[in-house]
Structure 1
């Protein structure tokens, strides 16, 4: 398919997909969304969103389920915090004093909070070398515009249905780059940037998230306007506005940004740019083709608009080359396309024979068709970049054309790429995420799911692989660096498949703890043991209704894992004995299961399926939710499971009658009892003092009356405390009232040894 036809086809498919999603959402409008996933702590905002090296700043946070928030923790040890305290030395909730070391690396870091339920989801915290300020006053008119210094950063929250105004002073011919960090720092803001004259007349406008490269025509005061593309705003629409002076020939560097999920597969292992060769323009036409020799690593960019970069090389029949292009995975809004042709002769005319069209790295697994977890994960590990094979059919000159399929509307010199042409180097890249539920009954959640484990919980992590250059072997998954009482069991990615499951289990009695974990994949490639890191991804925001908001996942820089002691899993399922279960090939294995219930459930049974290669075709079976035992029957004759060592787990979903923060009820009851006891004590004391005051005469009379007044004042305060305690108890009781919440239930991993038939 020629590129222009391919482009038209993709537009048609995209339009049809959008129509399908709109139709689906419309059909579900009448269905009530079901509450899914037990409460988890989530850090939603920090203000400011970053700071300068060598500074100490005040940071205020907001989030979900941040009860008893403790330390504000950062992904780099060069950023530390302590709680802010009031005049009486008492901690101020959700306020911290954050210190950034002078040698702390600049760029993207992450912040998260330890709470009663464990570690929260993270929020980006950016470190810079430049002075930073926080906007504290409204600036929604030209008259109230905030003055900014050049070479500084301003942290702010977008004002809803308004424009935020700033001013700066510039000398004639001074080059100023105005940039707005938003989506790249987890914000929901889609910024529109405008540089205007001092009267507010627009000079330059950027509506697609880019920076404005502005050279002042005169020495004057200039205006910056910032607003959301749809004029939305609020606490989740934060941004960092940057003004930076550059010399005329200096390259623009954008503000640091998060990495999207698909960037996990770039760069290849052992990648280095030491042999990088620059693309040389002009090379759009065949007569201008840049001559290269293979293998090669080329740096270029899709610029100007409609740019086509053409390269020629010699190759021999039977050779196999792998072509990889990275651009979208480097954070660029591009869609690379590669066409490889053999260049021959037909008389005096050039004869071109297409031998390969390469486009898009497909997702390793089927992605959800509507943005949330419906018929697949709400994460896309595929990319619009290129990774494919070129088989040479005959000797001679070959021409490679590289273009951005939608580059006709993009005129951005920062849209660079890397082109690699190499002999086969079999390898793999991994990414994982906390598994989401596949519900089709109106649930539209796409939630950030921190690895905050309750005792007795097994949390499943879905791990997928992008395979390189023909590698097709099995991959073992493991997780290290876990807290005490937590273990991880990797259910391997089988040969030829693209998905595996990692099970993270907290023992029932696991102590409260937090650690930084690592996830790894191990494989045998060309008789060599190969170990590769597994990136982890999470949702930027907990989306409760994907019909109204598009989920936006990203990669994490760290993998914090925590255990809370205060709550246990609603139900834990495990084999009755912790051992290796042995069975002969082709026979039936019955595994007794033990259930530990910690709450009531809606419904009497849970339907269980099976994780684990060799056993994933076990028919689903029912287990009781009101009994302490059940059993799983595995028919190896039907499954045709070959001899070997296996690890499996059973999983399903159940609706728990969850009681949130139950311990708060007991604490509130005790506080109310103590307050009532104090009232009773002070009431008795006041009566006694009043009786004494009646009998006292002379100079002692005023003293006695004063004692009565003071006692009555204490009594009044104590009575107010009773009222407050009653309100707290009522709120705690309402919060602890059982609520139907559906969640994933996964058994503790079970080990099985299948022996060859005929052996005891």
Structure 2
């Protein structure tokens, strides 16, 4: 009995291990709660599919948060004790959860300074609001047709500021509407969308009397669901609509003026490094719940000074350099002048929406006498304008900044600049599934692959891509990127001894020859909220790739080496072999990570259950780019979540045809035999014979294959036209060549010609009909 029990336990344990080994793709749907206060320790539940199976660590993108404890609650929930350091940076902190089998998507945890409370239902009536302390952050959720009301006390003359984070929580397209009411139910202030809060809402007013006030919060159209979570901040903190200047030099002390929200100012020393400073307005009464960006520059910008609203009174602006200004009233325009030499190329842009200004800027370039040389409203779908301007002559040029609708307000701040061009490589990690950012999970002893797209700006030549800070035991293999191509496949490998771990890996693009400085811009988009037509409403752009070492997979895949080329106009079979662990026989979907230009391959193939190999057919069109290409095949297993492996790189040669075949037009009649002679133009030598077969012959027309050698200059076919062959002009006639190269078949097709089949003369047709009739009677 004891032996049987031990056997059963061992069996259950082995089954448990097997089940956990196939629980791939941990999903992180939400954090409960979604934020906390500086200097506290918070119990946070990480919730999502398979997130509780073998949880290992939280991966933080920025300092300030620490994991104190981590425990599995169930398969779909992990509980983490998060320590928020006293000096933890305020605002959004991106994080992931790593399990032994995978890495979750990004979610954001939000840090504030006010005491935290939780919304308690029912609180949907002005008659029964939830009471909170003035100076609190409420964590809540808006359901369908839901209204949340909160009451607090304030004194006459006291600053009352309210801000809600809804869309910025990154859960769904949540459009909150905020109202502040007095005890009698009269609306004192309201806000729907605020540019400075990324279309979330905030308001800041002076309390008109001492007493009770109510904040009423809802979704604008009374929609809502469990994903409409929010953080509502209520207190005496400053909350300006904008700050000025919106750009400043690094390392200098600047007086920052608050525009709106009762005004104010603060002396601030800018950081000595970085491109943008997240500025948190604060005074003795509190700190704003969210920051406003200030662009950091090499030198102080020119400050707009009125009058400068026409081309006769422009403000001088350094070039390279820029200027800061405000379109403070309707119809306002700001003009700047800068000097340029003939042929000099300048990148001219206005940053307004990027700095959370409501300004919809338009930028134009003029000569001093008023000739319009260039203009732009939106750049590549973004609302801020950009112009690449080449000076036609040496001299002075004018920039005009205006609003597209000629609007103006005190918070319409902007930064306008003239920058010298520089070499930039914009890198994108391609998505495996649409609207899902790719994570790189490298199995111990195995491989995985990803595809990078590199967009060049003022950059040519062959490039190399290098990943840095990979987890121990992980390497990345990538071949040089040709000057005329923009896609880079990368294969990641992990040793069998690599520790289970994760890292955030930056990458660098550099020239393979020379020392040209290149600015690498990696921005991997996580689509948090999408609007109509899948328009991105709220996203996160990671500047480092998430790479993790995971448990070994129960299979590896490889491409059987090939020694013959894929010829333009031809086809080739790629054999994929799976090396399976004992006991693993599940189907594995296989497809090429990418195809060279002009090459296509079947993406619906699988190594079926219990089998060890499969074929991926590949074809090349007549203009496929020739050369040696390093390809890799992805193996996708869907077993309790998707997981991806890849083959090592394998060389695929795309080559010119060994000879060209010129297929002529054929004229024929029903019941006849005609000869068709192809002109052959030899390009490359080959051994033995090549078999030629006519393809796409019309119904009723037949021809036997023929064979040629490398010395042939033509090939002749005998076409047999049946008496009942379909008459007419039949397009598409081609010729397929099949030859053997290094003991492997090479097949390609050329030609798109025409076979014309004319009806036989009526007399012949009648005679045949009579013969047929007599024969049937005999």
Q: Shared fold by TM > 0.5? A: yes
For residue 149 of structure 1, report the CA deviation from its aligned partner: 3.8
Q: 1:249 aligns with which of 264, 288, 294?
A: 264
How far does residue 225 in structure 1 lie from its aligned partner after superposition? Answer: 1.1
Separation in structure 2 between the aligned mates of residue 524 and residue 359 of structure 1, nearest angstrom: 37
> Is 1:212 aligned with 2:193?
no
1:565 aligns with 2:551: yes
Match of 1:518 among 482, 506, 520: 506
Q: Secondary structure at the match of 2:518?
A: strand
Decide whether aligned partners of structure 1 residues 211 and 71 sit closer, same or farther in structure 2, where only a CA change above 3 A counts: same
Residue of structure 1 equivalent to 2:46: 61
Give the Cα–Cα distance (whole angstroms) in 1 for the partners of residues 70 and 494 of structure 2.
Answer: 33
Deviations 1:419-455 (A, max 9, x none): 2203333333434353336xxxxxxxx3455434556
Tell me by how many angstroms 1:393 deviates.
2.6
Q: Tell me the CA shift for residue 279 of structure 1.
A: 2.7
User: How far is 1:206 from its partner?
Assistant: 0.8
Find the counterpart in structure 2 of residue 649 from structure 1: 632
RMSD: 4.7
Normalization by structure 1: what TM-score? 0.64
Deviations 1:571-622 (A, max 9, x none): x532347xx98999999999764234655449xx96x55637xx33334268
Q: Among 144, 147, 170, which residue is 2:154 paired with?
A: 170
* Partner Cα distance (2:513, 2:325) in 1: 32
Instruction: Tell which has more relative contact order, 1 or 2 (C-alpha 8 A, sep 6+).
Output: 1
Q: Which residue of 1 aligns with 2:220?
A: 229
Is contact 1:185-1:258 (8 Å) kept? Answer: no
Q: Which has the higher helix share?
A: 1
Partner of 2:707: none
Helix, strand or coil at the partner of 1:184: helix
- The DSSP-based 3-state class of the residue aligned with 1:161 is coil
Of 77, 98, 102, which residue of structure 1 is paired with 2:86?
A: 102
Cα offset, 1:406, TM superposition: 5.3
Instruction: Give the corresponding residue for 1:320.
Output: 345
2:429 maps to what in 1?
A: 432
Tell me the SS of whatever aligns to 1:104.
coil
Per-residue CA deviations over 1:626-671 (Å, capped at 9, x if unaligned) read 4534678999997786778x532246x97x6x4428xxxxxxxxxx
Residue-by-residue CA offset, 1:527-576 (whole Å, 9 max, x unaligned): 435363523222326x8x9989978542136543224327547xx53234
Counterpart residue number, 1:442: none
For the 8 Å contact 1:57–1:98, the answer to whether it is kept is: yes
1:181 to 165, 168, 172: 165
CA distances 1:299-349 after superposition (whole Å, capped 9, x unpaired): 3345445543222334454333221333334455654321111132xxxxx
* Structure number having the greater strand percentage: 2
Give the deviation of 1:360 after TM superposition: 3.3
Q: Is the 2:504–2:547 Cα contact (8 Å) retained in structure 1? A: yes
Q: Which of 278, 303, 308 is residue 333 of structure 2 equivalent to?
A: 308
Structure 1: distance between partners of 2:71 and 2:427: 44
- Contact preservation (8 Å) 2:425, 2:519: no
Deviation at 1:508, TM superposition (A): 8.3
Of 358, 373, 376, the residue aligned with 1:358 is: 376
TM-score normalised by the chain length of structure 2: 0.63
- 2:540 is aligned with 1:554: yes
- The structure 1 residue matched to 2:112, chosen from 108, 112, 128, is 128
Q: Distance in 2 between matches of 1:135 and 1:301?
A: 40
Please list every run of 5 or more consecutive structure 1 residues that lacks an aligned counterpart in the other structure. 1-36, 260-265, 345-351, 363-381, 438-445, 662-740
- Cα distance in 2 for partners of 1:91, 1:590 equals 42
The answer to whether the 8 A contact 1:480-1:519 is kept is yes
Contact 1:591 1:632 in 2 (8 A): yes
The answer to whether the aligner puts 1:387 opposite 2:386 as a matched pair is yes
Shift of 1:120: 1.3
Q: Is the 8 A contact 1:343 1:396 kept in 2?
A: no
2:37 to 52, 73, 78: 52
Counterpart residue number, 1:347: none
**Counterpart position of 2:767:** none
Partner of 2:526: 538
Deviation at 1:192, TM superposition (A): 0.7
CA contact (8 A) 2:302 2:317 kept: no
**C-alpha distance 575-109 of structure 1, shift in aligned 2 (>3 A):** same
Counterpart secondary structure, 1:103: coil
CA distance in 2, matches of 1:312, 1:228: 46
Q: Partner of 2:607 in structure 1?
A: 625
Q: Give 1:296-695 correspondences, 5 Å limit.
A: 296-304=321-329, 307-332=332-357, 335-344=360-369, 352-362=370-380, 383-405=382-404, 408=407, 411=409, 413=411, 415-436=412-433, 446-447=435-436, 449-453=438-442, 459-465=448-454, 467-468=456-457, 470-484=458-472, 486-490=474-478, 494-495=482-483, 499-505=487-493, 512-523=500-511, 527-530=515-518, 532=520, 534-540=522-528, 552-556=538-542, 559-565=545-551, 568=554, 572-576=556-560, 593-596=576-579, 599-601=585-587, 608-609=591-592, 611=594, 615-620=596-601, 625-626=607-608, 628-629=612-613, 647-650=630-633, 658-660=638-640
- Distance in 2, Cα, partners of 1:151 & 1:591: 66
Structure 2 Cα separation of the partners of residues 234 and 309 of structure 1: 45
* Partner SS state of residue 399, structure 2: strand
Based on CA coordinates, which of the two structures has the bigger radius of gyration?
2
